[in-house]
Chains A and B, each alone.
Chain A
């Protein structure tokens, strides 16, 4: 079966660093994606990993280990506007197929 796990909620303070973990078990792998979703809005794309290692993009970085079925999203220098839900999603066997989403991690950033 398909299973993507991530923590339900996390809290952090402004300026801090937070790591959101994601583990997956899918019947194929063709990339792992992280999206940010603010309440009432559609998800916006943050990062994409298809090979093992770290992808850095400004304050956000994402790491992938395919052998462990594991990824994390690292957010640095947290800002209040980073309070949102972070969705881990995996694309299955074939390129061009739909994403399978985890339930999302709600991050609350306080001052």
Chain B
């Protein structure tokens, strides 16, 4: 079945640091990947849609200059949290699907803690 890999699983860093999270589709090509954020005891909130070879589409309220998305190949999308602050601490999850009518499969998520 479809497998989506996300790395790293955990990040703990100082305020002001930039953090890069990778999302890979391991056995299929994904022209579109999605980035979500989940705060404790809340549901997943879509941050942006990552499009291979073009600019990402950001949801309202998500700062594109703070959350940089690069989708340089059909199997890799990266999310960089620039100059991270404690309020950016959250669980970041990516997803992708094998086809436009197929279910989305999620990576294992990245727990980001900014001190």
Residues of A near any B CB (own CB < 8 A): 30-31, 33, 35, 40-45, 48, 50, 87, 95-104
Contacts and interface: CB of A to CB of B under 8 A. Distances in A.
Contacts of A98: 34, 46, 49
A107 B106 CA distance: 21
B101 A31 contact: yes
Contacts of B97: 96
B52 interface: no
A87 B104 contact: no
Given A43-B106, A44-B106, A95 B100 contact: yes
Contact of B103 (A42, A48, A101, A103): A48
A101 B104 contact: no
A30 to B, nearest CB: 8
Nearest to A96: B100
A45 B93 CA distance: 14
Contacts of A45: 103-106
Contacts of A43: 44, 93, 106
A100 B104 CA distance: 12
A45 B92 CA distance: 17
Contact of B106 (A42, A100, A102): A42
30 contacts: A31-B101, A35-B106, A41-B109, A42-B6, A42-B93, A42-B106, A42-B107, A42-B108, A42-B109, A43-B93, A44-B106, A45-B104, A45-B105, A50-B101, A87-B44, A95-B101, A96-B32, A96-B100, A97-B49, A98-B46, A98-B49, A99-B46, A99-B95, A99-B104, A101-B43, A101-B44, A101-B45, A103-B42, A103-B43, A104-B43
A41 B105 CA distance: 13
B43 A87 contact: yes
Nearest to A106: B41
A33 B42 contact: no
B46, B95, B103, B109 — which one has the most chain A CB atoms within 10 A of its CB?
Answer: B103
Contacts of A100: 46
B99 to A, nearest CB: 8
Contacts of A102: 43
